[in-house]
Amino acid sequence: MKFNRAAVIIIKRDKILLMHRFKQGQEYWVIPGGTIEPGETPEQTAIREIKEETNLDIEIDEIFCTLHDQFHCGVYYIGKNPDGMVKLGGPEAVRQSDENFYSPKWVVLKDVKELTLYPKEIKKKIIDVFCK
């Protein structure tokens, strides 16, 4: 299976790391991750994207799920041993504006139910697995 996106679910105690977004007048949340570049494995992409977007060094634990929809074919990993202070970096920091806002944030897991988290299938799986 050929993936074009890799993302990482990072949970620390009772919180999950999410990217708060505001784009084209819409406010929503996503799992940190991004596009797989030529020559990269999905795991390499996941580690690179987390470092760029959140400043964290992580290890990949296992695949949480895969998702195929009209927007992408993605693999979602579970990350472990997050190390560092969370802050925005990489291309997202360069693109940051009032109209295209990025902010990595630790969110209490039980609060995920109330968020507009995309893709919706990932939100459901996170709630089913981690918010019991």
Confidence grade of residue 24 (pLDDT, cut at 50, 70, 90)? confident
Residue whose C-alpha is closest to residue 22's, from 72, 97, 108? 97
Instruction: Give residue 31's domain range.
Output: 5-130
Q: What angle do CA 14, 19, 24 make, to 5 degrees?
A: 145
Contacts (Cβ under 8 Å, ≥6 apart) of 92: 52, 53, 102
Residue 53 has what pLDDT? 95
State pLDDT tens for residues 47-91: 999 999 999 999 999 999 999 877 778 999 999 999 999 999 998
Beta bridge partners of 5: 35, 74
CATH code of the domain containing 16: 3.90.79.10
pTM as predicted? 0.93
| Omega before residue 82 within 30° of 0, cis | no
Looking at the 3D structure of the chain, how many domains does it have? 1
